Amino acid sequence: MSGTSIDWDLELIQKYNYSGPRYTSYPTALEFTESYDESAFLQAAARYPERPLSLYIHIPFCHRLCYFCGCNKLVTRQLHKADEYLDVLELEIRQRAPLFAGRTVTQMHWGGGTPTFLNAKQITRLMALLREQFTFDAHAEMSLEIDPREIELDIVDHLHQEGFNRLSMGVQDFNKEVQRLVNREQDEAFIFALIERAKALGFASTNIDLIYGLPKQTPESFAYTLQRVAELGPHRLSVFNYAHLPTLFAAQRKIKEADLPGAEQKLDILQQTIHDLTASGYQFIGMDHFARPDDELAVAQREGKLHRNFQGYTTQGETDLLGMGVSAISMIGDSYAQNQKVLKDYYTQVQTQGNALWRGVQLTRDDCIRRDVIKTLICNFRLSYSAIEMDYQINFDDYFSEDLTLLEPMVADGLIEVTSRELIVTPKGRLLIRNICMCFDIYLRSKMRTRQFSRVI
């Protein structure tokens, strides 16, 4: 099916613009507990030995603090800290890798922080270790995040030589005043040079991250950013809604609330973004993401084969995700597991126990059913009852009778169509897919936790 069509209905968007999960997982991380232990992880690792493996490596360091950032990072200019980190990360990798012997890595992503905080020698060291410990598919997707302020062009060449074939770059906004107010001033010409070098080297995919809702942004100023992005021509775009949560993220206290665009202006920016990017030929994938029509994400969505995990949208659904490094999250078997979030605790536990496991959750049968429903709706905007019924031997109408009742106001508002055998998200409902999925979230319903999440728009 196509995800390109969106009907902008301001009244409905304002009605449903309340807080809710992003559903990179179901259950969400709020359900993780420290009762999930190493024995549970070992059982999960052995549950589906036939599954390919996706690796996530977290590099927590940044040279400079971006005021909008809510990621787990450590700001420092002491490069030797990366060597100390790699020493401990190596211990974790050597302990975890044997659990997945015989599996093939089909996907790897380095996130942060800033992975290119590592210099060329450190990148080579880590890649050599990973290739020694894991078996990589010859066509594996190998991606990492780069900061255009903290990289030289020759590092892009080095990344390509090490096997990376995908780059994701945080641009956020090309407007100089906005950049200054969030402490992320960058060279526009150099960003173009980086993307051009990646394309010339044959990188299979380039992604640009933008953020709307930053201080002093206006529809007019963001129009320039969108124009330049269209000229840049990345394969994919992520356009995130800035959630101002200064009580949770200390760096955001440096942003003056008076400088932030109001709710109505943010919606104007979002509407303009969708219009301009689709006019430039991008397909709306959903949940803030766009892709060229020939990109594999867009193709997978049209074919009903798109998937989603902690790293976002992916074409690789039947894989186990192994996260390594401080705060990294794994999706192994039917469970989620997260490493220690504080760097000091990560170091201590790996050095004393050989692993960094902090917390997690073992999914129940009901969790698995609801996870598949939510994931399918988010990825493909359509859900066949029969697919869920066949997989889990249930009667959809009976099992989800309460959930379908909760959907009735959204059906009346035209966000979703309910037939006898299918749920279909309408063009009006695609921007509000999180709200639709919340009707199937038993944890949200029982605990009323919406205040702990960002607004859906």
209 labelled binding-site residue:
yes
Q: Does 46 carry a binding-site annotation?
A: no
| Tokens 């963001």 belong to residue | 222
Which residues are CB-neighbours of 84 under 8 A, at least 6 positions away? Answer: none
Q: Annotated binding residue at 329? A: yes
The answer to whether the annotation marks 184 as part of a ligand binding site is: yes
Report CA Rg, the chain: 22
Pairing of strands 307-309, 312-314: antiparallel
Q: Is 166 annotated as a binding residue?
A: no
Placement of tokens 């044959």 in the chain: 202
Domains present along the chain, CATH in parentheses = 1-27+364-457 (1.10.10.920), 30-320 (3.80.30.20)
Question: 389 is written with which tokens?
Answer: 């019924």
Average pLDDT of span 374-381: 95
SS3 sequence, 191-237? HHHHHHHHHHHCCCEEEEEEEECCCCCCHHHHHHHHHHHHHHCCCEE
Helix (H) or strand (E) holding 139: strand 135-146
Mean pLDDT of the chain: 94
Give the model's pLDDT for residue 19: 84
Closest CA relative to residue 239, chosen from 229, 251, 250: 229
Residue with tokens 């969505």: 301
Q: Is 443 flagged in the annotation as binding?
A: no
Task: Pull the structure tokens for residue 60.
Answer: 């927590």
Question: What span, in angstroms and rounded, lies between the C-alpha atoms of 403 and 380?
Answer: 19
Which residues is 125 bridged to in the sheet? none
In this predicted structure, what is the pLDDT of residue 316? 85
Ranges assigned E (strand) in 38-134: 53-59, 61-62, 74-75, 104-112
In 3D space, the residue among 332, 326, 325, 290 whose CA is nearest the CA of residue 309 turns out to be 332
Q: Is a pLDDT exceeding 70 seen at residue 417?
A: yes
70 is in an annotated binding site: yes
66: annotated binding-site residue?
yes
User: What confidence score (pLDDT) does residue 1 get?
Assistant: 42
What is the amino acid identity at position 45? A
Distance CA 435, CA 444 (A): 11
Task: Please write the tens of the pLDDT for every residue from 323-361.
Answer: 999 999 999 999 999 999 999 999 999 999 999 999 999
368 annotated ligand binder: no
Burial class (CB in 10 A: 0-12, 13-18, 19+), 33: exposed
pLDDT digits (tens, 9 = 90+) for 171-190: 999 999 999 999 999 999 99
Mean pLDDT across 236-249: 93
DSSP strands (E only) in 325-407: 329-332, 335-339, 357-362, 382-384
Between CA 304 and CA 298 the distance in angstroms is 10
68 is in an annotated binding site: yes
Going by C-alpha positions, the residue among 179, 249, 245 that lies closest to residue 214 is 179
269: annotated binding-site residue? no
